[in-house]
């Protein structure tokens, strides 16, 4: 059965081009041309992945991403003409799984789509749940439970934490984490990892004296278990 992709893009020329290439790759494609329509269509279609423009009429891409995250962990790749770090960070904070700056090569975008969808399929095929003192990382239900309370966490934060906690006390370099969590097809930079680590620390710091998220200077990060 073909994977479904929702394209939310107000530039009709770009939208038409994306739809054409995605359909050639065998995807079933739906299109919305403003943020409000995008949220409505997402609820109707329940796509496997969303390609989401940032600068949209009615409701911007950040708002659309928040609405999608309220309904589940569907992967989101943000498309934007803005390349500033602040905009990238804002997109990641709202739960975007990846970020690509216009103009982009269609081959690069298709590789990212394939990689994100493949990681999602692998995650669903294997039962994944980790339990530590006052911490549960449940990748089957995409739930992060900290000190008995369920916290909201975007999919990439969950995957990053699961990757680190699956190998306690192992030091991962930023590049290793990019490969493990974002995939070797990822074309971004290592600051993406730092952004996600900082947000995880905001949620986890001081919760338990039996484990912690550690920075190993010049080397990377580890989930330290005492």
What are the angstrom distances between the C-alpha of 209 and each of 133, 153, 206?
Answer: 9, 22, 7
- Band the pLDDT of 100: cuts 50, 70, 90: confident
What are the angstrom distances between the C-alpha of 24 and each of 2, 32, 34, 149, 162?
Answer: 12, 19, 24, 45, 35
Identify whether 103 is preceded by a cis peptide bond (ω within 30 of 0).
yes
pLDDT digits (tens, 9 = 90+) for 187-214: 556 678 888 999 999 999 899 999 999 9
pLDDT at 82 over 70: no
Pairing relationship of beta strands 76-80 and 135-138 according to DSSP bridges: unpaired
Domains and CATH numbers, the chain: 4-124 (3.40.50.2300), 127-225 (1.10.10.10)
pTM for the whole structure: 0.57
**Total Cβ atoms within 10 A of residue 225:** 13
């Amino acid at each position: 059965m073909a994977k479904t992709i929702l394209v939310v893009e107000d530039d009709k020329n770009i939208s038409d081009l994306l739809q054409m290439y995605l359909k050639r790759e065998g995807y079933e494609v739906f299109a919305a041309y403003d943020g409000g329509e995008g949220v409505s269509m997402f609820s109707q279609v329940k796509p496997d992945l969303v390609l989401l423009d940032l600068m949209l009429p009615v409701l911007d891409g950040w708002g659309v991403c928040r609405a999608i995250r309220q309904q589940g962990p569907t992967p989101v790749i943000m498309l934007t003409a803005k390349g500033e770090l602040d905009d990238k960070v804002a997109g990641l904070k709202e739960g975007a799984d990846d970020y690509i700056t216009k103009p982009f090569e269609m081959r690069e975008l298709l590789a990212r789509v394939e990689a994100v969808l493949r990681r999602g399929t692998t995650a669903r095929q294997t039962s994944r749940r980790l339990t530590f003192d006052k911490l549960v990382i449940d990748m089957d239900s995409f739930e992060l439970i900290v000190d008995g309370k369920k916290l909201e966490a975007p999919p990439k934060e969950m995957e990053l934490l699961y990757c680190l906690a699956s190998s306690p006390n192992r030091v991962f370099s930023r590049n290793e984490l990019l490969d493990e969590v974002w995939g070797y097809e990822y074309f971004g930079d290592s600051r993406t990892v730092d952004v996600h680590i900082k947000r995880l620390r905001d949620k986890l710091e001081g919760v338990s004296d039996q484990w912690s998220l550690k920075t190993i200077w010049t080397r990377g990060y580890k989930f330290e278990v005492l």
